[in-house]
Structures are given as C-alpha cells and as structure tokens.
Amino acid sequence: MGVKTMVLLKGRTDAFNNMPCEETLTWIEKISCHMANEIDFLKKYESENAEVIGELLNKETINRFKGLALSLKFPYGNYKNYVDPHTQEMLEQGLLVQSWSSLGSLLESTLQMFLAFYYRFYIKSEWYKWEKEAINQITDELTGSFKENLEDIVKQNEANGEKGITNAIKKSFITKAKEILKQKSDLPKIERITLSDLIDFYFNEKILESNEYGKENLQKIRDYRNAIHTFQKRVIGSWDDYNNYLKDVIMLTIDILYRLPDLPDEECLPDWYYAGKTEIIMQEKKWFDYRLGLNIEQANL
C-alpha cells in the first residue's frame, strides 16, 4: 500500500517553455544578480559563524558571481552576430564550450553561495564523512597487515628482479590512501566542493526535492561543462539544450530565493530589494501554473 499526501505541483507554461534564449539569458542575469544582492544584504543578520560567512561571501566573491551572470549572454550574442559562413560551425563549437563552462560555474557558485549563507546547517551534515569506525579499520589495515603484505611483495620483486610493485609505488599508494582518509574525516570546505559533489549534497540531504528539475538535469550541465576539455571525446549540448538547462537554473535560483529569510520587521525594504523581488514574482506567475496533486509513497511493511 502507498501513503497518499497532497503536494503543490508547479507546471511550466508555454510562455516559459517557448522563451527564446536571448530572453532566458536576460532573466537568469536578473534573477542571479538579485539573489547575490539579497544574500549579501541578509548575511549581516546571521549571528552564528558570522566570520566564516563573511569570508565566504565577501565583496570580491559577490562581485565575481554577478560578473559571471552578466557575462553569460556574450558567447550566444557573438554567435548570433557572426556572419562568416566558412567558420561559423567551428566558432559555434567554441562558443558553446564557453557557454556551458560559464553556466556550470554559475550553477556551482549558486549552490555554494546558498550553503555559505546557511553555513550553520552545513557544518552539522554528515554527508561527505565516513564513519569513524570505518576510518579506524582502514587505517589499521594500512599500517598493519596490508602494509606488511605490500612490503613482502616489494622484497620478492627486488630479490627476483621482477617488475611490479616497487618501494616508491608502495609509499605513494599508502600516502594517497591516507590523504583520502583524512579528507573523509571532515566536511570539505564549501569553496572546494566540486559541482558534482554539490549536486549530490543538495539531493542526498533533500535540500532540493523539485518536481520541475531533477538531479540528472543539473548533472547534465556538469557533463556539458566538461566539454572544456577539448582533446577528450565529448558531447556538447546545442543552443536549444543550453536554453533548456538555463531554465532549470532559473527555477533552482527562484527556489533558493524563496528559502532565504525575510527581512527583520524593523528593517526598511531597500528600493532595489522591493523592485527586484516584485519583478521576479510577477514574472513567475507568467511562467508557472500551480496545482495540488497526490504524491504516493510506498509504506515500509
């Protein structure tokens, strides 16, 4: 049997689905910059871990993020304005690589910025860490019987003049294994988390449980971002793909905006805050239809 619960479903309207890339780029710029300004403004009300939050969300970080959002439109604009048919296809590939790289960076920074703002919740997570018992058991093996077995193999290879594990390889392997154990003992610093790990964190910790975009959508942006490694065999998404995934990032950023706290009652609304938030809310009403639906979860028997 399943457990039925009512959930609020959000459907994309034709206005959103059919929005051309130029318009999508304009809106992702507006919404991303507003999010950055809002987080920058609200961070002063976060009393816990204020020093760490201030370091992560400093002026340079905020400006670099907004600069990335502002520059997102240029590769596509350059492609649309290019007129030489002989090199257009070649140039398109280069500009697509730039576009996906920038979108991946914007997505990564958006997720990092939200985590930095709610740093007090992030440090309570056990997401990345291995259990202490597991680390201790592996450490015992690395410094005990496993290490001894490797040393025996090295001695046999040296005595018989055979190829295989050398003393240098043994030391290198154990050093790298210890580095992995050290990494898995603590949460990684927010600024060092990879995009793939950020996406895993958000979905594994159920911070994102959207029915409009999924983990696979955001991971696809990460995959296309890796097209920057041009000498590896890669599939680069088209401009239509790019437009579609831009819309996923817009929806994610709007979700993040709704998860930010309201201003304290005694704080007057700045003009930019009121104007930007109002414009986004009004546009969202054109983009999405809301309805109640049933969510059926299988009960544990």
56-88 pLDDT per residue, tens: 999 999 999 999 999 999 999 999 998 788 888
Q: What is the pTM of this model?
A: 0.84
Strand partners, 4: 296
Provide φ and ψ at 227, rounded to 5°.
-65, -10
CB-neighbour burial class of residue 110 (10 A; exposed 0-12, middle 13-18, buried 19+): buried
Three-class SS state of 188: coil
Nearest to 237 by CA among 82, 103, 138: 103
pLDDT at 149 over 90: no
Provide φ and ψ at 276, rounded to 5°.
-65, -45
pLDDT at 151 over 50: yes
Q: According to the model, what pLDDT value does residue 213 have?
A: 85
pLDDT band at 301 (very low <50, low <70, confident <90, very high): very low
Q: According to the model, what pLDDT value does residue 239 have?
A: 96
pLDDT at 3 over 80: no
Amino acid in position 200: D
Most confident by average pLDDT, 102-111, 149-158, 164-173: 102-111
